[in-house]
């Protein structure tokens, strides 16, 4: 009997150690690190495959996406992380209420991200194809893209997040991940295909629009930690707010893409 009790005690200790290790490994920060490695590996793989095997237009699209990774994800992400503390100190001294500052800050970052993507589209001749033969934005015109296709629809989503963060205490990394997964889901719905190889790419592209604004938030009295089901609201709520705006925009400006289909 004694050896059985000792065995049970040993099993319990081992189980507790495994559970503690799992909790330490399965963190939001480690998930972001994993997605970062995923993005790097996928980018190198696709770039190599494009350079060696893909036809010109498909190759140009991959080169454009690689430019987004280098300029927005890598350079932009590193700059945000490096200067996050002084930026937070500056933002928290601004006079507007934090929900307005949050929405405006997210919008500015979205505009910067689209500046990178539109630049990549306009660099098509540098990548060996005519302008419009390969692209990663709906137009080569920056104002057309942000006013009729992308950022104009993001703004109600940012407003939705400002409302959610008034009630729920979500870490900046958590906001990054949830909005990043939302972006991945939206891009998959828009393209009509789910490409898991692009998961890390889209999580970083969208997540970096909201990470730094979330990091700059002040303490919010009354905000509580979210429950598990609240994360579904964080994904669906902002999207539902964006749908009316998207419908209005599609009515006023029905052209979804200003280029012909990409063919090789």
Whether residue 115 is contained in a domain is answered as yes
**DSSP string of 159-200, one letter each residue:** HHHHHHHHHB---HHHHHHHHHHHHHHHHHHHHT---GGGHH
pLDDT in tens, 69-112: 999 999 999 999 999 999 999 999 999 999 999 999 999 999 99
Whether residue 204 is contained in a domain is answered as yes
Whether residue 23 is contained in a domain is answered as no
Is residue 165 pLDDT above 80, yes or no? yes
Residue-number span of the structural domain to which 170 is assigned: 28-252
pLDDT in tens, 104-136: 999 999 999 999 999 999 999 999 999 999 999
Whether residue 145 is contained in a domain is answered as yes
Whether residue 1 is contained in a domain is answered as no
Q: Tell me how many domains the chain contains.
A: 1
First to last CA, the chain: 75
pLDDT value for 19: 44
Is residue 161 pLDDT above 80, yes or no? yes
Alpha-carbon distance of 4 to 10, in angstroms, equals 10
pLDDT in tens, 2-61: 455 555 555 554 445 434 444 555 799 999 999 999 999 999 999 999 999 999 999 999
155 and 107 in contact (C-beta within 8 Å)?
yes
43 CB neighbour count, 10 Å cutoff: 21
Alpha-carbon distance of 239 to 237, in angstroms, equals 5
Alpha-carbon distance of 239 to 247, in angstroms, equals 12
Whether residue 45 is contained in a domain is answered as yes
Reported pTM: 0.90
Distance of CA 95 to the CA centre of its chain: 28
168 forms beta bridges with 224
């Amino acid at each position: 009997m004694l050896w059985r009790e000792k065995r049970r005690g040993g099993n319990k200790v081992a189980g507790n150690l495994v559970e503690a290790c799992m909790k330490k490994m399965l963190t939001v920060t480690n998930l972001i690190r994993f997605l970062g490695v995923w993005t790097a590996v996928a980018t190198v793989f696709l770039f190599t495959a494009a350079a060696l095997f893909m036809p010109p237009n498909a190759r140009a699209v991959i080169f454009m996406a690689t430019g987004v990774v280098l300029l927005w994800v890598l350079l932009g992400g590193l700059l945000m992380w490096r200067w996050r503390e002084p930026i937070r100190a500056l933002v928290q001294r601004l006079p507007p209420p934090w929900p307005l500052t949050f929405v405006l800050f997210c919008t500015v970052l979205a505009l910067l991200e689209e500046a990178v993507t539109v630049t990549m589209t306009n660099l098509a001749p540098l990548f060996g194809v005519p302008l419009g033969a390969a692209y990663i934005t709906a137009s080569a015109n920056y104002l057309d893209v942000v006013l009729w296709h992308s950022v104009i629809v993001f703004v109600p989503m940012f407003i939705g997040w400002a409302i959610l963060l008034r009630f729920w205490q979500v870490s900046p990394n958590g906001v990054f991940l949830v909005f990043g997964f939302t972006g991945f889901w939206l891009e998959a719905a828009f393209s009509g295909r789910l490409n898991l190889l692009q998961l890390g790419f889209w999580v970083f592209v969208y997540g970096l629009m909201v990470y730094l604004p979330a990091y700059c938030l002040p303490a919010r009295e009354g905000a509580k930690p979210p429950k598990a089901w609240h994360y579904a609201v964080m994904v669906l709520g902002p999207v539902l707010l964006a749908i009316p705006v998207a419908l209005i925009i599609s009515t006023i400006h029905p052209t979804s893409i200003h280029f012909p289909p990409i063919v090789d």
